[in-house]
Structure 1
Amino acid sequence: MLLRKDRIFYLDEIRALAILLVLLAHTIKNFPVNINYLTSPTLLSYLTISRMGVPLFFMLSGALLIGKDYSLSEFFKKRFARVLIPAIFWYIILFVSVAYVNGFNFDLINVWIYDAPVPWFVCAIIGVYLVMPIFSSFVKEYGTRGAGYFLLIWLVLVILTNLNLAQDYYPTLIFGNFGINIGYAVLGYYLANKDFNIYSLPMVIFSLIIFIVCIAFNMYYAYYFKTVVYIESISIIIQCSALFIILRYLSKYATFNPSKTLSKIHNYIKDSWIGAIIYALSIYSYTIYLMHYHIVNLLIQYYPIRTFDLVPVVFILLTVISLAIAFILSKIPVLNKLIGIH
């Protein structure tokens, strides 16, 4: 598989990592079938790492869409079609699968309309897209300084929410399910466009230290307090930001210092079969997200996880099967426009 020359590799790296983290999270949530994962400090600590998956997706949306030139009609037509058509397609596939297994009847239709789960991420990304043109116009007017101003306000609200001081002052539900997501989108734009005037390698090293510290803190907190660290946490925001900067500045370092050992390793990964897999995970990420619910349920049903050692096995199986199915479907002329390839 040849990499597309017009793509930004570090953004593909982030998207590939994001979908892997989502798959890991949903593997852990099904571990094991006879034990609630909330009672396992070890699983909670690993689940905390996977919390970066969804925020990274929103950050990518902001990095790629905010500040760009487009008409409102063009934006909504293209964005909503790319989100809704695949979601409806896979929703129908799930309905047919359930009907085939359980038998079709009219009660099934009634239950499906009221109780069938629509992936929350689909609803969340639609909410972000609805207001993204407003933020895009604001950013085009004020640039990264304007984005920084918004992020300052956003972080204050996040801190107040973390401290439970803002419940009486604004609707927590609205901010928790919408404000946090648009904040991550603006953060993605800011980190993709802000020039920090620091040499690439020191920036990578500094961000890596911050990233490791946040990982350690979040795992420690989850392990000892038996609490999931949510994406509204300041530590998750810092953790995602550090990872974003690491990959961006590592790519920048490799571009301007091609003879360095670190650059050679980076460029080998980019141009080898590893880079091809990263690219595949990136372009099939939305397809994998929408279909993996069906696959993980089948895996757990026929290959139940009963020991912690099997979590990596199921995770790898889920990833390989999802990627293989997405690849096969992408080669079918009609389906390749319906399944959600980006």
Structure 2
Amino acid sequence: MSNANVGKKKSKRIFYFDALRALAILSVIIIHVFNKTNALAVMGWGTIPSFRWFVADFNLLAFRIGVVLFLMLSGALSLGREWEIKDFLGRRLPRIVAPFLFWGFFMSLIVIAFSYHFHFHWIKSISIYSVLNFIYNAYLCKSPTFLPYWFFWMILGTYFIMPIFNKWLLHAELKEAEYFLVFWLITCIFDFTLFKPFPIKLIYFTSPIGLVVLGYYLRHTERKLLNNPYFSILLIIVPIICMMAFSYMYSTPHKFYTFDRYSIFGAIEVIGVFTLFKNFGKFNFKPGFLYNPKGILRRFVASLAKCSYGIYLTHLCFIKIASKFLFSSVNYYLLNIILLIVGIFVPLIMLTALNKVPYVNEVIGVK
């Protein structure tokens, strides 16, 4: 199948892409919540781990796909299309740079205010130097609550290389993408799972660009196995079971054993997730609440998808602030539920409201 005509298709909003983006941001929030509360669960490890340990371990492993899904969606939506570098960067860069600068500044002020008023000790003192230094380090992912900002620098570099891959894929056969992805999978095994050097240097095939190409490939592939939703479920379940088994073997009462987001297990799982969402309509059952475009679920999914980048840049600040008040006084399960609600709905409501404000709506990460 030649891909020269892929870019000529009329662009339209595709629901399974919105669903994947919503899952991506939910996965990121789940990971950050359970990372925040894992100290309350990790001690449950033992010959027979506690149920709390299994809950935390499952969430820390199964939902480590958020950033990976964002990368795959970038490839699925942008690669194999007719566009010039200037147009691509002119549209893409403002979408990520403006919200990054906006929220880095304003969320820093919110965090500093809470830290000072409630003595959280996230900032040394309220002086011009300390405040400016905090904001500067927020942009560099070093200030407390701003560690997720590494994603901006990673996706920025990915955007810079994508025009080169786009030109190749625009005129390539899908078999050539498969050739690339075979070597990418090798890097997933050696570089990010075994952490041992492969005899051949394969740095040009490694993630995150490998995931961008994977997203493009999975969107367009017609291979029957990769378009079978039951096979997709298998691709999700098997790696999660494997990761939990290894985690049980190598964890300690002080630390969960987790896998790199680019590991072979994560790669297989995310292939299953992407293809399951793509081919979900092939199941025989079609519940109305999933297919009603005006239903609550689909509207919620659409809202999460549109606000996903803004939520990403703001959610951890709200989670950390809430955890400061609740960590020592609330039951473990209730704490996780509350922090999840805070991490999802506080940014979502804030972004939805700000999206109605002229000019501001252009820099908050809603699209």
Q: Could you say whether these structures have the same fold, taking a TM-score greater than 0.5 normalized by the shorter chain as the test? A: yes
Matches within 5 A, 1:194-233: 194-197=221-224, 203-226=228-251, 227-233=257-263
Aligned twin of 2:285? 261
Match among 299, 305, 311 for residue 288 of structure 1: 311
For residues 144-185 of structure 1, the C-alpha deviation after alignment (integer angstroms, 9 at most, x for no partner) is: 2221111111112222223333178659xx78xx93111111
Structure 2 length as normaliser, TM-score?
Answer: 0.80
Deviation at 1:93, TM superposition (A): 0.6
- Is 1:188 the counterpart of 2:215 in the alignment? yes
1: CA distance between counterparts of 2:361 and 2:155? 21
Structure 1 contact 31–37 (Cα < 8 Å) conserved: no
1: CA distance between counterparts of 2:346 and 2:279? 32
SS at match of 2:258: coil
Deviation at 1:223, TM superposition (A): 3.3
Structure 1 contact 38–44 (Cα < 8 Å) conserved: no
Aligned twin of 2:77? 64
Structure 1 contact 52–240 (Cα < 8 Å) conserved: yes
2: CA distance between counterparts of 1:322 and 1:86? 13
Match among 156, 174, 190 for residue 144 of structure 1: 174
Stretch moving more, 53-62 or 209-218: 209-218
Could you tell me which runs of 5 or more consecutive residues in structure 1 were left unpaired when the two chains were aligned. Answer: 255-259
Structure 2 contact 111–317 (Cα < 8 Å) conserved: no
Deviation at 1:307, TM superposition (A): 3.6
Match among 148, 158, 164 for residue 195 of structure 2: 164
SS at match of 2:154: helix
Identity across matched positions, percent:
27
Structure 1 length as normaliser, TM-score?
Answer: 0.86
Aligned twin of 2:299? 276
Q: Label 1:124 to 1:144 Cα distance change in 2 as closer, same or farther (>3 A).
A: same
Deviation at 1:236, TM superposition (A): 0.7
Residue 89 of structure 2 aligns to which amino acid in structure 1?
F
Count of residue pairs brought into register by the alignment: 324
2: CA distance between counterparts of 1:219 and 1:146? 34
SS at match of 1:142: coil
Relative contact order higher in (CA < 8 Å, ≥ 6 apart): 1
Aligned twin of 1:257? none
Aligned twin of 1:341? 366
- Bigger helix fraction: 1
1: CA distance between counterparts of 2:233 and 2:226? 14
Match among 290, 308, 322 for residue 332 of structure 2: 308
SS at match of 2:83: coil
Structure 1 contact 46–219 (Cα < 8 Å) conserved: no
2: CA distance between counterparts of 1:327 and 1:168? 51
